[in-house]
A and B are shown apart, each in its own frame.
Chain A
Amino acid sequence: MKVLVINNMAPFVWGGAEELAENLKQNLIIHGHEAEILRIPFKYEPANDIISQMMMVRAFELTNVDHVIALKFPVYLIRHPKKTIWLLHQYRQAYDLFDVGLSNIPNSDNGLKLKKSIKNADNEAFIESRAIYTNSKVTQDRLFKYNNIKSTVLLPPVNNPEIFTGGIMDDYIFAGGRINGMKRQCLLLEALSKTKKRVKMIIAGPPDSDADRNTLILLLEKLNLKDRVKLDLRFLPRQEYANYLNKSLASIYIPLDEDSLGYVMMESATAGKALLTTSDSGGLLHLVKHKETGLISEPNAESIAEILDVIWEDKKKALLYGEQAREYWNSLNITWNNVIKVLVK
């Protein structure tokens, strides 16, 4: 079949969704389909221009395509008789982010009308699709809450899982993922300054901005942790990242209310590492079972310090939790094989 994967584009920006789309395409090809990716630029500032972007997508004419898999707003508005939505993102600023005042849509008469228009268009797109999948339970819940649409959770698998072999543990805990305020690497440093043991950590990943980078470096200096913490603040080539993870004692990831399981946690589980997180980290708590596949603490420095100490002291626990994390993850059967079968039914 000729399958077209459709995603938004922010020119010159490449992130997780783009990686997902690429991997989806590769795996479709492995499964014997022809696959291509269509990336449509999406302009959402100022908010009023969103209407034109919705019209634009709707106006496009697709030919020579058997099946479409659309990932986000507004590209899922595209017209095609065989359309599957694998929802990574609605336009949250018209829904939950609007409710908490974090939207570029003003709370004015026109703003509310814009919200309604987006919702109307969304509902049309959902109704005309063959099937709707979401990348996490959170997205599924939101979709139901705001649009009254039932969907099935289809978790995105780890990309090239074979490189996360796990293996011999070195003496550091690994903190991977993007560096920004929401991921709370600063809180990690605070926690480290409060541990009883000399816990060592490698924090590695691309900072969203120079400000994020600098904040972290300054805090490291201030807390005098240079001898225990290695900062590798850049986009890591895949194998390097895998190496860090494979050799670690355990993996810690404490984002604020993340939507989904989070690649960091999934990759850590694949590598068989104990998963450390906080109680308010969101979707990834489905993967982290306290004292089974890892440890959950309160979202404050002292509490995090405690679990760091526990893991640091008891390497056997780290090993056990890691094994169990891997087992649990495998039991969920979140593989590309499955995903393709479901999406292109």
Chain B
Amino acid sequence: MKIAICSSFIPFINGGARNIVDWLKCILEEYGHRVEVIYLPQADSPELLFQQMFAYRWIDVDSADLLICLRPQAHLIPHENKKLWFIHHIRAFYDLWDSPYRGFPDDFNHKGIRDALISIDTKALNESKKIFTNSKIVSNRLKEYNKINSEVLYPPLINPERFFCKSFNNEIVNVCRMEHHKRQHLLIEAMKYTISPIKLRLCGVSSNQQYYNDLLGIVKTNNLEDKVILENRWISDLEKVELLSTCFAAAYLPLDEDSYGYPSLEAAHSIKPVLTTSDSGGVLELIEDGISGYVTEPDPKALGEKINELFINKNKTMRMGENALNKITSLNISWDHVVNRLLT
């Protein structure tokens, strides 16, 4: 089949969506299909929203037998055989409308923009043959705001066999971008309450120099230099695999994430349990409290206690790691499943 995969992008920003698209392309080609990936620009500014939606409307990919759309406004592209792997709305106009993250006033003008956007989005969504999402959370949002049903299709990792479990040392690791909403600061605070052998290793790039400085500040203020290892740099795949193979647990506690996030999936493939919080959103679809990790209040003391437990109760920790791995199977997180669902 000739398959077109389309997603919006911001040049030079490599977000999660790019991985899904690029990996999906690889996999579909392995299955013998011809794949064309189309990335189109998209800026979220309210004033320019509709102008760009018009542009997407005029995109013609009729030469493809199947069109798979990911990030908005890709779902606006007309096609007879359109399927969506919907990973998020333009959240400022949806679930973040009533939050401090909106980024513009909720005045009459913007309310009009929002209503119009929801109306058009809904029409466009209804054009597709099938809608898949990357999590129950996103499916719920689609139902709530656009009154439309969708099927959860969890995004797998490419070549997950890279990950393995070698040993359980004294490090709990967090390998992901260092941003405020990823909440590395909570983890550092938690180390005030952990027993001495345990170390926290935070690895990843930060787009926000201020935040990184804040993290350094917390370490210094609380004299945690011995307990916290901060590596503010790009971590290669090999390094990541290595770190996860030897840690005793992984931690991933983003605020209200859309999906489980690659860090938790990577940990599960490495047969390690994940420490997360009750307000981490999609992570909870993979990690269950006491089964494949711990889910605590987003409070440093509570986190610290669980870190201790994970370290002390090695057997339970190992079992929970296994459960995490099994969860991957029971949730059907695999490319075979993805291709199966997308192509039938």
Contact = CB atoms under 8 A, between A and B. Distances in A.
Do A and B form a real pair?
Answer: yes
B2 A12 contact: yes
Contacts of A302: none
A177 B190 CA distance: 65
A41 B61 contact: yes
Contact of A60 (B2, B13, B55, B63): B55
Interface stretch (A61-69, A162-170, A201-209): A61-69
B12 A65 contact: yes
Max chain B C-beta neighbours (<10 A), residue from A2, A43, A56, A62: A56
Contacts of A62: 11, 41, 43
Contacts of B55: 55-57, 59-60
B145 interface: no
A60 B40 contact: yes
Contact of A61 (B34, B41, B58, B60): B41
A115 B235 CA distance: 53
A43 B43 contact: no
B48 to A, nearest CB: 5
Contacts of B34: 12
Contacts of B58: 52-53, 55-56
A36 B38 CA distance: 13
A49 B62 CA distance: 14
Interface residues of A, number: 26
Interface in B38-90: 38-43, 45, 48, 51-52, 54-55, 58-61, 63-64
A59 B12 contact: no
Given A40-B40, A61-B52, A63-B41, A11 B61 contact: yes
A310 interface: no
B205 to A, nearest CB: 14
Contact of B63 (A12, A55, A57, A65): A12
B12 A61 contact: no
Given A39-B38, A62-B41, A11 B63 contact: yes
A61 B64 CA distance: 25
Contacts of A10: 63
Interface in B6-20: 10-13
Given A53-B58, A55-B55, A56-B58, A38 B48 contact: no
A41 B41 contact: no
Given A41-B60, A55-B55, A2 B43 contact: no
27 contacts: A4-B11, A9-B36, A10-B63, A11-B4, A11-B36, A12-B34, A34-B12, A36-B12, A38-B11, A39-B39, A41-B38, A41-B61, A49-B60, A52-B58, A55-B54, A56-B55, A56-B59, A59-B52, A59-B54, A60-B41, A61-B42, A61-B52, A63-B41, A63-B43, A64-B11, A64-B13, A65-B12
Interface of A: 2, 4, 9-12, 34, 36, 38-41, 43, 49, 52-53, 55-57, 59-65
Interface of B: 2, 4, 10-13, 34, 36, 38-43, 45, 48, 51-52, 54-55, 58-61, 63-64
